[in-house]
Structure 1
Amino acid sequence: MAPKDFIQANGASTFPYDIKDVEPETNSQLLSDFSGERTGFVQVGPKKYFFPIKYRSDAENIYNFEVRPDDVWIVTFPRSGTTWTQEMVWLIANDLDYKRAAETSLLMRFPFLEYSLFVHKDIKDELLAENEHDIEKTKIVEGMDAPMWVELTKSKERRFIKTHMPFSLLPPNLLTSGCKVVYVARNPKDVSISFFHLNRLMKTQGYSNDFQRHWEYFEKNLIDWSPYWEHFKEAWAIRNHKNLLFLFYEDMKMDICDAIKKVSNFLGKSVNAEEMSKLQDHLDIKNFRNNASVNFDLLTNIGVSVKGEQAFIRQGKSGSWKEKFDNELNARADAWILKNIEGTDIKFPSIN
């Protein structure tokens, strides 16, 4: 069903924001540094949320996606502990079914709502050529750009949905529908480091420049899903809603047992001491890093990951920004952070 046909058939709302192409010179520089996108980028609405140009055709479909009362969503800015939280949430909601979790990739258990936006046709064609002698791999590549909002609409099971979209671009009734939403925030310095490595790892992103340039894009809101601060502030403003659990990644790292208790209570589940110990061990970074189900081996096997780059699951710690920030960049980042939280009650658990 074509996007407009879908909207008309469901009596859905018109997307409320303007979508504008990024200025040509900036677009040209971005295409040079991010080889995963081959056409261009757009900025959305007054906050200028940044996406590949494919967003233009799917904006209304994501905005009008039909939310179900028993859905469980995880909403984050990228690299904020999303995968770690997904595994925790899915296991708690599914009565600690480790067998099913091990046998089924997290990609299948907890689908990524807008992933297809980041699969350019040229990248898909290149991956098809690389995998043409393997029927199973070819089938996976063929499905990479299938809109997940369509697949999720067909699902008969309880849905677990991951997204990096800000709340203003998601269905307006997300929190009033009765479903449960977990938002995880992480300090921007660590986000920027982790995002840099992810963008170098994934061919769908294809970042090829250095961290300094990547930080400039991040700071200027010229990177996918940015602006970081607008994304964060939208969630912060509604953090006390009964259907939203707002967590800080730093707090989760400091006390994972407390995070497990909060998630369990939020989902109406209980975890005893023995189960707590086992889940804590399962989520320990040493074990998590070696868990094929959450490391997206499915994507690695078809060539989406760039060889020689850091793995999808990296260090899983706070303070990794110190690897890349010299004194000058650190001072610049701190000034940027202070400017953006000035006049607010925002306070990160640990930002230095």
Structure 2
Amino acid sequence: MARAEALRSQPSPRLPDSIQKILALPAQDGRVFAPADIRVEPSDVFVASFPKCGTTWMQQIVHGLRTGGSMDFEEISLVIPWLEFPQLSGVDVGGPQVARPRAFKSHLRWEVIPKGGRYLYITRAPADALVSFYHFLEGWMFEPGAYSVADIYEGVFLNELLFGNYWTHLRSWWQVRERDDVLLMTYEDLIEDLEGAVRRIGGFMGLDVDDALAAKVTHQASFGFMHAHQGQFDDHPTTVALNALAGLPLEVRTTKVRTGRVGDSARLPASIHAALEAAWKEDIEGPLGIPSYARLRQLLNESRDCASD
């Protein structure tokens, strides 16, 4: 009785009230960041991306293709585990999985991801990635409305976090895009032709994708379907564990299925668009000679068309 009263009298956990506290959370300072040391099999598929660029979407496609469209899972990270945070999900990351090929989620750059498997990398226009990043953190890592998109851009998005920043991440994977064991795709390509992307991903995984399977996986990877089943795509096993570790409210959740649109960044302030363009010019156009994200997509699609001729 006395213990219960003592617990009730303790202050309730609060969300971080400063950018510094967000950056100091355990997942950011390395206390739980420990990529699993797995024995990579040649058929293993690594779903890789910078955060908020379509990772969960790609996980759903990969799992649907390898299982014939099974939705028999509590949350997608329990059947396609996150390589970097094995402590949080409680999954034996290197163990057997419910289907083959095995698949793993990762936000690691090419230089540090385990080698020997096959790698599906998805990228996204940086402005849209920023907006998604902001809404992912809002209400979980900070009180709704406490910070503007500009605050998160300057304080978090530009930082070299555990995975680097958006631009270092993209450069890392762009340099290996022509390898036979790497398939680099864009979020916008999936929006424009989801079934075509599903078929291409299946072929890259070494699977036979007939019309029925392509149609089923495409339907289950649609925004409407994933939104209706968003509890299976909210990363709650990891979120709950991180909340407990970081002293955040246990009931706080986030979502990974928000709008499924391209162009949500149109309402960003002109100053943020200008800052993003300046960062692209310095970090992508400078070293790679690619003047815009639109041109990067064009080059990627041209190389794909040449490979299919």
TM-score, normalised via structure 2 length? 0.74
The answer on whether the counterparts of 2:69 and 2:213 sit within 8 Å (CA) in structure 1 is: no
Corresponding position of 2:50? 77
Output the CA distance in 2 between the equivalents of 1:156 and 1:312.
23
Which of these residues, 282, 286, 289, is aligned with residue 339 of structure 1? 282
The answer on whether the counterparts of 1:75 and 1:165 sit within 8 Å (CA) in structure 2 is: yes
Corresponding position of 1:114? 84
Corresponding position of 1:170? 113
The answer on whether the counterparts of 2:140 and 2:252 sit within 8 Å (CA) in structure 1 is: yes
Counterpart code for 1:80: C
1:262-341 equivalent positions in 2, closer than 5 A: 262-291=200-229, 292-296=231-235, 306=252, 311-323=255-267, 325-341=268-284
State the 1:162 CA deviation. 0.4
- Provide closer, same or farther for how the CA distance between residues 35 and 306 of structure 1 changes in structure 2, counting only shifts above 3 A: farther
Which of these residues, 49, 63, 75, is aligned with residue 90 of structure 1? 63
State the 1:103 CA deviation. 3.7
Corresponding position of 1:53? 30
Output the CA distance in 1 between the equivalents of 2:97 and 2:171.
34
**Cα deviation code 1:223-250 (max 9, x no counterpart):** 4523211111110000111111111111
Corresponding position of 2:166? 228
The answer on whether the counterparts of 1:77 and 1:228 sit within 8 Å (CA) in structure 2 is: yes
Output the CA distance in 2 between the equivalents of 1:156 and 1:311.
25
Counterpart code for 1:161: F
- Provide closer, same or farther for how the CA distance between residues 275 and 350 of structure 1 changes in structure 2, counting only shifts above 3 A: farther
Give the SS at the match of 2:39. coil
Output the CA distance in 2 between the equivalents of 1:55 and 1:222.
17
Which of these residues, 122, 125, 133, is aligned with residue 187 of structure 1? 125
The answer on whether the counterparts of 2:23 and 2:156 sit within 8 Å (CA) in structure 1 is: no
1:26-45 equivalent positions in 2, closer than 5 A: 30-32=19-21, 34=22, 37=25
- Provide closer, same or farther for how the CA distance between residues 220 and 276 of structure 1 changes in structure 2, counting only shifts above 3 A: closer
State the 1:297 CA deviation. 5.3
Counterpart code for 1:314: R
Counterpart code for 1:106: I
Give the SS at the match of 2:88. coil
- Provide closer, same or farther for how the CA distance between residues 201 and 305 of structure 1 changes in structure 2, counting only shifts above 3 A: farther
Output the CA distance in 2 between the equivalents of 1:36 and 1:313.
26
TM-score, normalised via structure 1 length? 0.66
- Provide closer, same or farther for how the CA distance between residues 82 and 233 of structure 1 changes in structure 2, counting only shifts above 3 A: same
Corresponding position of 2:14? none
- Provide closer, same or farther for how the CA distance between residues 83 and 170 of structure 1 changes in structure 2, counting only shifts above 3 A: same
Counterpart code for 2:204: F
State the 1:276 CA deviation. 2.5
Alignment RMSD: 3.2
Give the SS at the match of 2:212. helix
State the 1:348 CA deviation. 2.8
**Cα deviation code 1:29-85 (max 9, x no counterpart):** 6433x18716xx9xxxxxxxxx423268x3xx65x5432222111111000111011
The answer on whether the counterparts of 2:159 and 2:165 sit within 8 Å (CA) in structure 1 is: yes
- Provide closer, same or farther for how the CA distance between residues 245 and 304 of structure 1 changes in structure 2, counting only shifts above 3 A: farther
State the 1:314 CA deviation. 0.3
Output the CA distance in 2 between the equivalents of 1:265 and 1:212.
41
State the aligned residue count: 267
**Cα deviation code 1:81-116 (max 9, x no counterpart):** 11011010111123x132xx2344212110111135
